[in-house]
Structure 1
Amino acid sequence: MIEKIDFSQSEQYTLSIRLSTDGFSFSIYNPLNGSDFFFHPYPVNTQRSMAANAKAFLAETEELKRPFKQVNILIHSERYTVLPFELYEDEQMESLVYQNLQKVNNETVLCNILGKSNTVILFGLDKLTHLFFSEHFPTARFFAAVSPQIEYFSVKSRLGNNRKLYANLHPESVDLFAFDRGHPLLFNTFSASGVTDQCYYLLYAWKQLGYDQERDELHLTGQTPFRKEITEQLQQYIRKVFIINPQAEFNDSESSRIENVPFDIQSLIACE
């Protein structure tokens, strides 16, 4: 846990909660003072449902019982789909989602409209979890965890005159973002654990997109113990492989100094 914040001033702060099957976490920061920052991970019981873990999380975490200026809730999941803004219609959200994803019961379909990439992310969250957080934080904004990353990388990908593939590596999955100078080509999250599987999927995506091994760029970030080994493996096939440095990316903000702050939270803070 990292603590550098005055909780008596919580009404001035932004709370960002991240929900994932491999654990919850939350950050609290002052948008007017980047040095005021608090981050705390919360382990989940993998034998319990998301809703049961969410209920316990809200009940047991004293910091969440304070008032906040703004509350963001990020859901890290593979259950999302992407479409161009021009094809989006509010009344067709569910039908659009279930054209690409298998329908499940008791799911709320939510939407993020992304202005920088001109795309819409439709994503699912089980109804009970959504209800718990909506009741606890009536003004909360819900995001797919990929949404702030897409907005952030959309801007970064416009630099230079080559195509870029960004990958956020997690212990059991990879978030993938492909751009051609700001133009989105592919966004996807897939299950993959270990060096061999993650390298395979990254190289397969690179090949399918027709990226150039000498000219185009692969940028890696994320919380996996295998990142160094994955980087070394990929450098055998791709010339320009880079590790994203949070200190450089986020102007040495307090959140970037904390190694275990998920990149999607960092990118959400940067995009605020």
Structure 2
Amino acid sequence: MFIPENIDLGQSEKYILSIRIEPNRFMFSISEPNYGKSFCLRDTTFSTEITLLNNIQRIIFDFNFLTQEFLETNVIIVSPEYDFVPSAYFGEHEKIDLYNRTHTDKAERILSNKNEKYSCVNQFKIDEDIYEFLSRSLFNPKYTHHTSLLVDLFGDKGKSVSLTSKMFLNFHNNLLDIICFKNSKFTHCLTYESEPASNLVYFILKLWEQCGFDQLTDHLYIAGSPEEEIKHTLQEYIKNINPVDTPREVYLWNEDALKAPLDLITLSL
């Protein structure tokens, strides 16, 4: 896994390292702030024969430059195991109990991302052993859930229609994120994993109905590549459907940047 010549890891402290972890995939980017041409993206899929922890350990040991001192070291956790909680109801000491009350798969370690703009906190599950290993191995890592980054990114999109409600769909790998805004106020964020197309259409339209969105005036934005069946069915019910464009700056960078997931690319903007 080579690194481009224009990235000098002998001066790692001037770069941003962002690691993105899925149950079956490991991805990282190295970028220099304000210099998009230096963006480097590498990824690999995991073996299903060994645990996620062992897969992560193998990669960190094989590519030990990831443990160097960087300007920033970000770890993005990609999973459906999270909750957005209003700030007024969030307590740092009660977050594990709060999470476990609403999830059957209990957590030993809960991390959180605060969002001051929308007065909420995203609390998300991470495996205890993975957290301990990454915290020991990486230089001062900052942990972020992928939906925390998407809420900020999507909240700034569609400003010209800020007086209407907006739903964003983000299709990536076998996941679908649905993020909703009511008159510029963040209201919902849900993630579905490994669901057939018919189920996803039902979930999308049911949430659209429950949110009280209008089929003629409100807007649906789609990121990623959904199945044609999903797009075709949604077009029968919702008038205003638009793609989520890649941030304009990225087109001036390189091919690696154009391949990066939206949540990861936001850390280099």
Q: TM-score, normalised by structure 1?
A: 0.88
**Pairwise mapping of residues 72-87 of structure 1 onto structure 2 (< 5 A)?**
72-87=74-89
Residue 81 of structure 1 deviates from its aligned partner by: 0.9
Residue 245 of structure 1 deviates from its aligned partner by: 1.4
Check whether the contact 1:117–1:182 (CA below 8 A) recurs between aligned residues.
Answer: no
Residue 251 of structure 1 deviates from its aligned partner by: 5.9
Unmatched 5+ stretches in structure 2: none
Q: Residue type matched to 1:244 in 2?
A: V
- Structure 2 residue 248 is matched with structure 1 residue 241: no
Q: Residue type matched to 2:235 in 1?
A: Q
Check whether the contact 2:25–2:46 (CA below 8 A) recurs between aligned residues.
Answer: yes
Structure 1 residues 95 and 157: alpha-carbon distance in aligned structure 2, compared to 1, 3 A threshold: farther
Check whether the contact 1:167–1:219 (CA below 8 A) recurs between aligned residues.
Answer: yes
Check whether the contact 1:177–1:188 (CA below 8 A) recurs between aligned residues.
Answer: yes
Check whether the contact 2:70–2:139 (CA below 8 A) recurs between aligned residues.
Answer: no
Residue 76 of structure 1 deviates from its aligned partner by: 0.6
- Structure 2 residue 65 is matched with structure 1 residue 66: no
Residue 158 of structure 1 deviates from its aligned partner by: 4.8
Check whether the contact 1:15–1:28 (CA below 8 A) recurs between aligned residues.
Answer: yes
What is the match of residue 210 of structure 1?
212
Residue 62 of structure 1 deviates from its aligned partner by: 4.3
Alpha-carbon RMSD: 2.3
Q: Residue type matched to 1:216 in 2?
A: D
Partners of 1:193 and 1:253 in 2: how far apart? 35
**Pairwise mapping of residues 116-265 of structure 1 onto structure 2 (< 5 A)?**
116-156=117-157, 158-160=159-161, 161-222=163-224, 224=225, 226-227=226-227, 230-248=230-248, 250=249, 252-254=251-253, 258-265=257-264
Higher relative contact order (CA 8 A, sep 6+): 2
Structure 1 residues 65 and 140: alpha-carbon distance in aligned structure 2, compared to 1, 3 A threshold: closer
**Bigger shift: residues 124-133 or 47-56:** 47-56
Partners of 1:18 and 1:255 in 2: how far apart? 19
What is the match of residue 35 of structure 1?
37
Residue 268 of structure 1 deviates from its aligned partner by: 3.2
Residue 254 of structure 1 deviates from its aligned partner by: 2.4
Residue 78 of structure 1 deviates from its aligned partner by: 1.1
Partners of 2:198 and 2:105 in 1: how far apart? 31
Residue 140 of structure 1 deviates from its aligned partner by: 0.5
Q: TM-score, normalised by structure 2?
A: 0.89
Residue 244 of structure 1 deviates from its aligned partner by: 1.0
Residue-by-residue CA offset, 1:170-214 (whole Å, 9 max, x unaligned): 232211110013211111111244533332322222122121111
- The alignment of Structure 1 onto Structure 2 pairs a total of residues equal to 266
Partners of 1:34 and 1:258 in 2: how far apart? 8
**Pairwise mapping of residues 104-123 of structure 1 onto structure 2 (< 5 A)?**
104=106, 107-123=108-124
Q: Residue type matched to 1:125 in 2?
A: I
Residue 216 of structure 1 deviates from its aligned partner by: 0.7
Q: Residue type matched to 2:266 in 1?
A: S
Sequence identity percentage: 25
SS of the equivalent of 2:197 reads helix
Residue 90 of structure 1 deviates from its aligned partner by: 1.4
**Bigger shift: residues 227-236 or 72-81:** 227-236
Partners of 2:7 and 2:196 in 1: how far apart? 36
